[in-house]
Amino acid sequence: MNYRIRYIAGIAEDPARLAEYYRTYFGLRELGRSAEGDVSLTDGFYNLTFLKRRPGLDEEDDRVGLNHFGIEIDDIREIEARLEEFAPRADIKQEKGDLHHGEFRVYDPNNLPISLSLNSFGVRGEERGFPNIRHVAMMVPNNQQVCDFLCNVFGMRETSSGRKTAATGSPVRFVGDGGTAVAILRDPARAIADGVEPPGTNLKDGLNHFGFLVDDLAGYLSRLPGGGAGRPASRPMTEERVHDPEGNPIDISQHKGYEVDDNVWVRGPELATV
């Protein structure tokens, strides 16, 4: 069983502009473009795709912003069996199977899509240089059900961060697949009602943000337009938050890092001081 998140899809007004941003400031490499204007990039492991917003895009939610993530799988028959056992009302649909999509699609307990690929979403190799994507976060209801779905169907594990938040009565859950830390956060309305988030541009429901691990946090912040906005010290992961040209939130971490499995953390190097 080899189930790992390797794909993030967003919908963009100008995918080419976003591609230039991620190439310039995060060193991503372009995988390819479609005739319709979709652009796919990679950090060496992930496929980060921006789909051009247009009529006929064939996405249930066609709002601009981050849309869904995707999981690399070994065998679609095993997924079918796991869905039959743990989510019998779930369905598997076909996707286009090109560079910008997976081959299959399933839906989580909130009816949000998850792409599936038998071909690593077109990314060959497993390079993990710096910077690299290590975090995805969603803002949704039914947090425990989503946690159970990801663990039971895709073999993810609840992490120590998830158990700590659960012990406080918070609905927030954290799971990992061994390479990526997944945050299942309060839905926007509850986040505001609970007083953990003020109303603002980052409160998008569904897939909300993703995060990079870097080797020189100060250096990245000095080069990024507008610098960064620090994250609360109480958050278990990531130190900074920036936004791309279309407003998608991006977490950046070097020192705190991300818990990608139960008690397994990935962190950037500690830079020597003179």
Same domain assignment for residues 118 and 136:
no
| Residues 36 and 71 placed together within one structural domain of the fold | yes
Are both 18 and 140 inside the same structural domain?
A: no
Residues 138 and 19 in one domain: no
Q: How confident is the model at residue 178 (pLDDT cuts 50, 70, 90)?
A: very high
Give tens-digit pLDDT for 7-24: 999 999 999 999 999 999
User: Do 183 and 203 fall into the same domain?
Assistant: yes
| 233 or 52, which is more confident | 52
Lowest mean pLDDT, pick from 37-51, 89-103, 169-183, 225-239:
225-239
Give pLDDT, residue 33. Answer: 98
Q: Is 137 among the domain residues?
A: yes
Lowest mean pLDDT among 40-49, 59-68, 238-247, 265-274: 265-274
Q: Is residue 145 included in any domain, yes or no? A: yes
- Same domain? For 58 and 136 the reply is no
Alpha-carbon span 165 to 190, nearest angstrom: 16
- Is 273's pLDDT higher than 60? no
Q: Last residue of a domain, which of 122, 149, 183?
A: 122
106 versus 231: which is more confidently predicted? 106
Same domain, 44 and 147: no
- Mean pLDDT, rounded, of the chain: 94
Q: Note whether 10 and 88 are same-domain residues.
A: yes
Q: Is the pLDDT of residue 108 over 90?
A: yes
Domain residues for the domain of 20 are 4-122
Residue 262 covered by a domain: yes
109 and 189 belong to one structural domain: no
Share of the chain above pLDDT 70, in %: 97
Q: What average pLDDT does the segment 32-36 reach? A: 97
Residue 274 has pLDDT above 50, yes or no: no
Determine, yes or no, domain membership for 87: yes
CA distance 197 to 32: 37
* DSSP strand pairing (181-185 vs 173-176): antiparallel
Alpha-carbon distance 199 to 219, whole Å?
30
Is 271 a member of any domain? no
Which of 99, 122, 145 is at the close of a domain? 122
pLDDT digits 0-9 by tens, 49-86: 999 999 989 899 999 999 999 999 999 999 999 999 99
Pair (92, 158) in one structural domain: no
CATH number at residue 25: 3.10.180.10
| Residue 274 domain flag | no
Query: What are the residues facing 182 on neighbouring strands?
Result: 136, 175
Assess whether pLDDT exceeds 70 at residue 271: no
Specify whether 40 is located in the same domain as 106: yes
pLDDT band for 101, please (50, 70, 90 cuts): very high
Q: Is residue 273 part of a domain?
A: no
Residue 127 lies in a domain: no
Residue whose tokens read 């169907």: 153
Residue 202 is predicted with a pLDDT of: 79
Mean pLDDT, range 223-232, rounded to an integer = 84
Give the domain-ending residue among 62, 89, 122: 122
Rounded to whole angstroms, the Cα distance separating 1 from 120 reads 14
Whether residue 73 is found in the same domain as residue 141: no
DSSP for the chain, written as a single string: ---EEEEEEEEES-HHHHHHHHHHHH--EEEEE-TTS-EEEESSS-EEEEEEP-TT---S---SEEEEEEEE-S-HHHHHHHHHHH-TT---EE---STTS-SEEEE-TT--EEEEESSGGG--S----SSEEEEEEEE-S-HHHHHHHHHHHH--EE-HHHHHHHHTT---EEEE-SS-EEEEEPPHHHHHHTTSS-SSTT--SEEEEEEEE-S-HHHHHHHSTT--EEPPTTSSS-SEEEE-TT--EEEEESSS-EEEETTEEE-PPPPP--
Q: How many domains does the chain have?
A: 2
Residue 76 has a CB neighbour count (10 Å cut-off) of: 14
